[in-house]
Structures are given as C-alpha cells and as structure tokens.
Amino acid sequence: MKTWIQNGHVLDPLTGTDKVCDVLVSGSRIEKVGTDTEIHDSLKGQEDVQKLDAKGCYVMPGFIDLHVHLRDPGLTYKETLKTGGEAAARGGVTTMCAMPNTKPVIDTKEKVEEVHRRAKEESPVHIIQLGAITVGEEGKELADLKGMAEAGCIAVSEDGKSVMGSAIYREAMKLAAKYGLKVFAHCEEIDLRKDPDTGEDGVMNKCSRSEELGLPGITNSVEDIITARDIFLAKDTGVHLHLCHCSTKGTVDLMRMAKEEGISVTAEVCPHHFTLTADDITEDNGRFKMNPPLRETKDVEALRQGLKEGIMDAISTDHAPHSEEEKNVPMRKAAFGIVGLETSASLTYTELVETGILTPMQMAERMSLAPAKILGFDDKGSVSEGKAADIVVFDPSREYEIDTDTFRSMGKNTPFDGWKVKGDVKYTLVDGKLVYQNEAYNE
C-alpha cells in the first residue's frame, strides 16, 4: 500500500523545504517529495494508492514528545500504553519518551524490554521507555544502566523528583556517558519546596497570587539551584543533559550560559509554561496544580524568547494523566500534573506561531527535528525522501474549542478545557500507516 499526500505545504526543518508539493509514502518510508505530475509518473498506473487531501494544511514531520507519563505498568486507572498512544496520535505525536516512575519503577533491562514489547502490540505510535537512574527512584543505589541501554531506553531519568545525592548522580552521569545514554533531568531542590514563610508544602508559584489565594508557594530557586548543579555535573562528566519542563527565567539564563560554554545540554518547554502564568489561577482548583508550577509573566516571556532564539530546544508536554478524584479537589490535596498530548500542537500554533514568536517552520523544528536530534535519530524529524514516514498533516486554519470529553487519553485533567484555539491535526501517519484521521473533516 502506498499513500499519496496531495496539495499540502511541506515544512521540512532538515532540508529547508517550505513549499506546496506532494508526498508519496511507500511502506514505512517516504519515497518521493515532488509535484503532482512527478508523483503520478512515479506510480506508473498503480491503483492501490491511498490518497489524503492536505490542501491548506502543513505537512510536517511527526512530532516527537520527549516527556510523557503513561502510567503503565501499575497505574493503568490513569492511562495505558494503548490510550496514551491513541492520545499521541490525536495530537500528531508519532514518537514519545515514557518516564519510568510507574509501579513498579522501570529500573532494569527486563522491565524496559517488556514495555517495548507491549508498546509494539498496543500503541499506534512509537514509545521509547526511559529507565530510572536509581533503583526504585530512591536515590540510594544505581539502577541497571548498562542493561537498560542494551534494551534501547536511550535516556535515563528520575523524573518526578531529582537525584538529590550529588555524588551518586555524578557516578550515574559518568556511566550514562559510557553506555551512550542521555540524562533527562527533573530539576527540583526537594528540601526547598516548602513555602519559606509557612513551612507548608508548596502547591503553586510563590508570588502575590499565592498570597491572595492563601496557598503555599514554590520559589523559582527550587528549580534554578538544581538546574545549575546538573549543568556543572554534565560539564564534568561529559554526558548529554536534557532539562525537562523548564519554567523559570533563571533556567533560560543558565541554558544560555551553558551553550556559550559548549556544554552538551538541551532543554524543553511545555505549552502550559509558555502560555499561562500564576495570575491565571483565579481559584483554589486542582486542575492548575503542576510541577513545576505556573510562574510569573517575566518567566513566560523568557521561555518564549528562549524558544524563539533556540536557547530552549524543544517543546514537550509532561503529559501527566490523573483520575478525576485526584484532580477535582483543592490544590493542597490534588496530584501534580496535567495532560497535554492532545493540546500541545494547537496551543503551540495559537500561542507562538499566530503571535509571531515562532514561524511554522520553527514549530516543526522545536516539535520534531530538535527532539529527533536529542535522541540521536537520523531517520526522523524530516519530510524528505528515504526518511521514516512519520508524518503529521496539520491544518492551521481550523478553529475549535478544546473539549476534554473528546480526549482519547483517560486523563481529562487540564486547565485548557473550553479554550478556543487555532490549528488542529488532520492526519497522523506512523511508519506510513494512517493511525489518526480527524473526524471533524467528515462533518
């Protein structure tokens, strides 16, 4: 079966292709990018061809989400490999990295292999299972880094917390570099997460709004201190460090310094952190509780500028599904995290492209090519001949209202329910197979 994507505007951040043309997919690869006539001639009368109309749409390389929580194994009342994969396909995500803080924690070769085996059977998109840095994410004993590297986990992370012991973390970084693993860092000085005035565990950013709402706050220094530590440890050990869910101006400043120093470090920003501020929290509602928290306007402006300049490399979601019982409660009782796989592309287009901060090509670069490079993938992140046929057809003109009732994810926990956005995924292809088709175009 071949697939002919017709009349779309191809955006390829690898080759710089930025024009209306057609794409022919054969099997799991892109066979040809060219004019209608060129594709027609190359088919030589073949009739078994699936045609997809991409008129008015961007044809981009499939998005790669470096940071998701799929809750599988052990917490499948929140999400599964199947439902998470379906949510990813809905959002144009063709490859995603699953964090290891499941139950049990993914900290051995065998556990990585089992998730990878199941993912191939159950998920419509590619899933890369990351491994924990320490056994059980307890920060005491190093996990099986060598074995997990052999199982293809690509990176290790203690996401959900930081490895607080600098000595064991440094040893982990040295071994990760030896075995070709990246380190994905959740930067949080856990001993400082309490509100400095009340001593209570923080639930939102420490600022005037937290005081107005009477809620305990988390300062920017909680992130900035560990970000600085991790950057300098990466410099010492030579490992590639990737900073997850960056939220502060301080982190952007540190990233600029690190890149000027030539340190091997990259960083991601989530849509909620470049879209919302703490001032958007108008009530004590658990749907706004996330870690790191929504910050202030100066932080959002710095994150946006960092993405514009490429100081901040990638856009990821930190997709964190929870049950309604865990989120539909006051912030002190709510779990941290929101879902994002199905809203990321639309929020990025609405908040960054429509406002002129990013070009459509830069959107494709931040959401696909840059993550592909971070993971070391040569065959993804591009719509060019010979590359993997992981493709998203994105309609920049479609306006709609985010509705959690339509989510493929089991998680409905988002502050964006009811938001009006512009730009939506029309088709998603993974290895040349159509895994998502937007039903709105059949109405």
For the chain, give every domain's residue range. Answer: 2-59+388-442, 62-375
Asked if 74 and 97 count as a contact pair (C-beta separation under 8 A), the reply is no
Pick out the residues of the known binding site for substrate. 69-71, 101, 291, 322, 336-337
pLDDT band for position 1 (cuts 50, 70, 90): confident
**What 3-state class would DSSP assign to 113?**
helix
pLDDT recorded at residue 81: 98
| Contact between 209 and 279 (Cβ < 8 Å) | yes
Say if CB 87 and CB 341 are below 8 A apart. yes
The predicted structure's pLDDT at residue 442: 82
**Phi, psi angle pair for 106, to nearest 5°:** -80, 100
3-class secondary-structure state, position 86: helix
Q: What is the mean pLDDT of residues 366-375?
A: 98
- Closest by alpha carbon to 313, among 378, 381, 225? 381
Whether the predicted pLDDT of 238 surpasses 90: yes
The answer to whether residue 381 scores a pLDDT higher than 80 is yes
pLDDT at 46: 80
Is 80 exceeded by the pLDDT of residue 123? Answer: yes
Q: What are phi and psi of 366, to 5 degrees?
A: -70, -30
SS3 162: coil
State residue 360's pLDDT score. Answer: 98
Q: Is the pTM of this model over 0.85?
A: yes
Is residue 52 predicted with pLDDT exceeding 90?
yes
User: What is the pLDDT, as a whole number, of residue 443?
Assistant: 67
CATH code at 2-59+388-442: 2.30.40.10
Summarize pLDDT for 137-154 with one digit per residue, the tens.
999 999 999 999 999 999
- Mean of the per-residue pLDDT values of the chain: 97
Asked whether residue 47 carries a pLDDT value surpassing 90, the answer given is: no
Over residues 340-361, mean pLDDT: 98
Alpha-carbon gap, residue 151 to 185, rounded angstroms: 20
Calpha distance 72→88 (Å, rounded): 15
pLDDT-derived band at 343 (thresholds 50, 70, 90) equals: very high
Active-site residue list? 318
- Nearest partner of 186 among 240, 282, 267, judged by Cα: 267
Distances (CA, A) of 100 to 68, 196, 393, 416: 10, 31, 30, 26
Per CATH, domain 62-375 is 3.20.20.140: yes
- Give the dihedral sign, CA 11/15/18/24: negative
Residue with tokens 């470049």: 274
Asked if pLDDT for residue 270 goes beyond 80, the answer is yes
Question: Binding site for Zn(2+): what residues are annotated?
Answer: 67, 69, 159, 186, 245, 318
159-198 pLDDT tens trace: 989 999 999 999 999 999 999 999 999 999 999 999 999 9
Sign of CA dihedral 120, 121, 122, 124: positive
